[in-house]
Amino acid sequence: MKSVYIRSGLALLCAATLGACGGGNGNMVLGGTIKGLTQPNMVLKNGSWEAKPAATDGTFRFAELIADDKDFFIEIAKQPDNSHCEIINNRNKANTYTVVQTVVTCVTDSYPLGGTVTGLAAGDGSLVLANGGETAAVPAPATAGAPVKFSLPKVMVGSPYGVTVLTSPLGTAKNCVVSNGNGTMATSAIDNVTVVCK
């Protein structure tokens, strides 16, 4: 009879201290935070478990519930399209604190945005082009009318861009017109924007 009481006591002790008895009841959500994700098709894994966050998600979670004190190791099984992500705090024993501490930080690929300006002459001064808050000054060429290459800061894949004339060349009556200046950044540099000044 005494052994029955001892066994019952041990069972209660195990229930109260799940980790000490090598497992739990699988009642915790395993997940974490995502920063900078803008592209689809990322896959995260914990053993055979999979999570597939959508682009722009700020968090992730696995559908399966993890038990207290069970080991977890979350990995990036597939990088999102046109991006590179890194992961930290992804390996531990599960408890109330560790199951939400994983952080995935992503950087979307970006490419140059540029093109050619024609019609400027020496003495015209600089033409200033803009894409949103980013600007580039295009100096006049030494030879009148010679084409001048310009480049604006890189733009993330999937982001819209719109090149405009912010400031026309000082001291001239020239009107500068942009062509091919609007679009969405693809997976290679854009270098076909043209600006003609007359």
Task: Report how far residue 46's alpha carbon sits from residue 168's, in angstroms, rounded to the nearest whole number.
Answer: 57
Instruction: Provide φ and ψ at 66, rounded to 5°.
Output: -100, 145
The model's confidence at residue 25, banded by pLDDT at 50, 70 and 90, is low
pLDDT for the residue 171: 63
State the average pLDDT over residues 36-62.
97
For the chain, give the longest Cα–Cα distance.
Answer: 107
pLDDT at 42 over 90: yes
pLDDT for the residue 146: 92
Is residue 89 left, alpha or beta, with left meaning phi > 0 and alpha meaning psi from -120 to 50?
left
End-to-end Cα distance, the chain = 104
12/97: higher pLDDT: 97
Q: Which amino acid is at 163?
A: V
pLDDT at 145 over 90: no
State the average pLDDT over residues 9-30.
52
Task: Report how far residue 38's alpha carbon sits from residue 159's, in angstroms, rounded to the nearest whole number.
Answer: 10
The model's confidence at residue 154, banded by pLDDT at 50, 70 and 90, is very high
